[in-house]
């Protein structure tokens, strides 16, 4: 079914909605205004990497629902999803432009990064897309990637993932334009933290990328309020290996979080996860981690 509204749309995976993506949306807003259309974003569900490499470990920076909300916040009037399946993957570049962008979505204009590839075998590029759009009556704009003035690398999802994997949350935040955030439903754990005097909210990451197994200074978002906190991501080697789990201890919070959705914003790496000689040593270290997290968070106000 064709989309009834007239849109000029940026096309991409938009995983993370980092500063480069927001720059692309900004250019799309201006371009849409020029051609008398509304700005939109076309996204692929699932991410093409998941389709082509289904056995890859989790790699998403941002869950699809959060990604869509961030695109709307950035100024897109709509987010238009495309199911990335066998039929879409097999389309030639021309069939994609004619059948999907013009036919199914009814776009007035298309915006991509200059390195955009599309169509079966990634046969289409920005130059080819420009020609195909002109042939089918669509306006087209290619946008060069946003560079990071502090580094020579391109701001992109790959660089953000590398920062998260290494625990460099300050670097990830610089590229994202905000702290990397995980949202999830708090589940019941073994309640060992409670017995140590440090109750935790436990989250699994699902399809989100797993950060370096370590302790972090974080902020927890509960019902729209932010609480300073400390978090451990890992397998809890002192009390017995478990599946990777994010455990968050909120400072100055009282209440039951089980079953509630909370957000966790990663602010700073504190130390690597390690095994301790018993629960007393672990308790002493957690107390030290809390002090270190409070200090780090005071240096990085919300």
With a cut of 50, say whether residue 1 has pLDDT above it: no
Which tops the pLDDT comparison, 82 or 152? Answer: 82
Using pLDDT thresholds of 50, 70 and 90, give the confidence band for residue 152: low
Q: What is the reported pLDDT for 154? A: 76
* CATH class, range 180-299: mainly beta
Q: Where are the domains of the chain?
A: 7-143, 180-299
> Looking at the predicted structure, is the pLDDT value of residue 186 above 70?
yes
List the helix and strand counts (H, then E) for the chain.
Answer: 10, 11
Task: Judge whether 75 and 26 are in contact, CB under 8 Å.
Answer: yes
Tens-place pLDDT, residues 79-101: 999 999 999 999 999 999 999 99
Res. 301 pLDDT band, cuts 50 70 90: confident
Kindly provide the residue ranges of all beta strands, DSSP E only, lying in 151-289, ordered along the sequence.
180-185, 201-203, 214-222, 225-234, 245-250, 261-272
pLDDT of 63 > 70? The answer is yes
Looking at residues 121-141, what average pLDDT do you find? 95
For residue 74, name the pLDDT band (cuts at 50, 70, 90): very high
pLDDT at 203: 96
Least confident range of 54-58, 107-111, 196-200: 196-200
Average pLDDT (260-264) is: 96
Cα(146)–Cα(271) distance, integer angstroms: 32
Cβ–Cβ < 8 Å for 270, 218: no
- Of all residues in the chain, the percent with pLDDT exceeding 90 is 78
* Residue 235, pLDDT score: 81
Model pLDDT, residue 4:
42
**275 or 65, which is more confident:** 65
Averaged over 228-235, what is the pLDDT? 94
- Residue ranges of the alpha helices (H) in the chain? 19-35, 48-52, 64-74, 86-89, 93-95, 126-135, 157-166, 169-176, 192-195, 279-299
Q: What is the pLDDT of residue 243?
A: 78
The pLDDT value given to residue 80: 97
Mean pLDDT, the chain, as a whole number?
91
Q: Cβ atoms within 10 A of the Cβ of 165, count?
A: 14
Q: How confident is the model at residue 291 (pLDDT cuts 50, 70, 90)?
A: very high
Q: Enter the tokens of residue 102.
A: 């013009």
Write out the two tokens for 229.
Answer: 């906190």
CATH number of 7-143: 3.40.50.620
């Amino acid at each position: 079914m064709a989309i009834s509204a007239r849109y000029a749309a940026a096309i991409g995976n938009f995983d993370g909605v980092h500063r480069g993506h927001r720059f692309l949306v900004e250019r799309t807003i201006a371009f849409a205004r020029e051609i008398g259309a509304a700005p939109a974003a076309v996204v692929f569900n699932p991410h093409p990497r998941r389709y082509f490499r289904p056995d890859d470990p989790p790699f998403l920076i941002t869950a699809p629902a959060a990604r869509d909300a961030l695109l709307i916040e950035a100024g897109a009037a709509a987010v238009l999803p495309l199911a990335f399946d066998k039929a879409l993957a097999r389309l030639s570049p021309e069939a994609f432009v004619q059948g999907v962008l013009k036919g199914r979505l009814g776009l007035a204009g298309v915006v991509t990064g200059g390195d955009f590839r599309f169509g079966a075998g990634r046969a289409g590029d920005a130059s080819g897309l420009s020609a195909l759009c002109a042939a089918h009556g669509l306006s087209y704009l290619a946008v060069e990637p946003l560079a990071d003035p502090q580094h020579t690398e391109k701001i992109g999802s790959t660089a953000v993932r590398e920062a998260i994997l290494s625990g460099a949350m300050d670097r990830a935040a610089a590229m994202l334009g905000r702290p990397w955030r995980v949202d999830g439903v708090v589940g019941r754990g073994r309640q060992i933290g409670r017995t140590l005097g440090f109750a935790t909210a436990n989250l699994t990451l699902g399809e989100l990328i797993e950060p370096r197994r370590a302790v972090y200074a974080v902020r927890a978002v509960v019902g729209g309020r932010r609480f300073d906190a400390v978090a451990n991501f890992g397998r809890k080697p002192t009390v017995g290996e478990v599946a990777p789990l994010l455990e968050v201890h909120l400072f100055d919070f009282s209440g039951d979080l089980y079953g509630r959705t909370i957000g966790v914003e990663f602010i700073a790496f504190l130390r690597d996860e390690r095994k301790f000689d018993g629960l007393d040593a672990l308790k002493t270290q957690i107390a030290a981690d809390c002090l270190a997290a409070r200090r780090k968070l005071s240096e990085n106000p919300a």
